[in-house]
Amino acid sequence: MTTQAPRETARPTSRPTRSTYPFDVPASSHAYLARAAESLREAITTTEVPLRYAQAHVAALRATAALLAARATPALGQRRGRSAQKNAWVLLAEVAPELTEWATFFSAGAAKRAAAEAGSRRAVTEREADDLVRDADRFLGVVEEALGLTRHVPVPEHLPTVAAS
């Protein structure tokens, strides 16, 4: 039995939100979701462990971008100049507080992704890469539901298997 991520139960009342009917989702969100699925496919099919990890993490980033494109509203009245920049995971937690645990989880893996992208073969293990592929797949489904869309069919459980040690 697999554990599913919590469903979206409530939205913050302090921010204006858009309706979550599929026809209300911006085209940019659909494009980000398609790119997330593409990154996930690349993660599944590659035999290189660091690339598998990096592509799975990028898939989660692109899914986050889809949600931010649909829900985030520009900050009004900000002065030009030096304003604090926030990464995607911080923005995700602000725009979708129900996904804070996911944001924290993926934020924690950002340094490993950077090391994997830089070519480090010791940055991640095969098990970590496979687990991240499954987690990114689950997260993509959570984002799809949060946008009012139907979840995609999850990745097959035929990721390369690690021999038990």
Q: Taking 60 as the threshold, does the pLDDT of residue 149 lie above it?
A: yes
Smallest CA-to-CA distance from 143 within 47, 67, 88, 53 is with 67
Which pLDDT score, from 0 to 100, does residue 150 have? 86
pLDDT-derived band at 28 (thresholds 50, 70, 90) equals very high
pLDDT-derived band at 12 (thresholds 50, 70, 90) equals very low
Which pLDDT score, from 0 to 100, does residue 82 have? 60
| Main-chain dihedrals φ then ψ at residue 145, nearest 5 degrees | -65, -40
* Lookup result for tokens 């899914």: 63
Q: Taking 70 as the threshold, does the pLDDT of residue 110 lie above it?
A: yes
* Lookup result for tokens 């893996």: 109
Q: Taking 90 as the threshold, does the pLDDT of residue 7 lie above it?
A: no
Which pLDDT score, from 0 to 100, does residue 145 have? 93
Round the average pLDDT of the chain to a whole number and report it.
Answer: 81
Residues 136 and 61 sit within 8 Å (Cβ to Cβ): no
Smallest CA-to-CA distance from 68 within 101, 41, 103 is with 103
For every residue of 16-68, DSSP letters joined together read: ------GGGS-HHHHHHHHHHHHHHHHHHH---HHHHHHHHHHHHHHHHHHHH
Which pLDDT score, from 0 to 100, does residue 11 have? 37
Report all structural domains of the chain as residue ranges with CATH numbers, in order of start.
24-73+88-146 (1.20.120)
The amino acid at 112: K
Which pLDDT score, from 0 to 100, does residue 23 have? 61
